[in-house]
Amino acid sequence: MGAARSLCVRRRTSKSRRRRQKTSKRLGASQPERIDYDESAALEETDRLLLSALSYWEVQHDLIEERIAAIRSVSVPS
């Protein structure tokens, strides 16, 4: 019988695949760096949205209270 072959087989990459790897590395290096996300701007945006939502719900609450008061004044005979 034949001698046992080793399981470790070295595979070569094709020239086209090596070229693709090289070009992708070059393209990656030429891309502009990402701008760091400014946390203070995100917090300011969040604060602005929260204040906007709060004022909206305050207005809604006031309108509901006015409607309830109007209904009570109509239904209660004086």
Tell me the pLDDT band of 67, cut-offs 50, 70 and 90: very high
Q: Is the dihedral of CA 12, 15, 16, 20 positive or negative?
A: positive
Convert the pLDDT of each residue in 8-40 to its tens digit. Answer: 556 777 777 777 777 766 666 555 555 556 777
Tell me the pLDDT band of 65, cut-offs 50, 70 and 90: very high
> What's the CA angle centered on 14, arms 10 and 19, to 5 degrees?
125
Query: Which residues, other chains included, contact 21 with Cβ-Cβ below 8 Å and sequence gap of 6+?
Result: 13
Question: DSSP character for 34?
Answer: P
Instruction: Please indicate, yes or no, whether the overall pTM of this predicted structure exceeds 0.75.
Output: no
Which of the pair, 50 or 75, is modelled with greater confidence? 50
Nearest to 45 by CA among 56, 37, 35, 34: 37
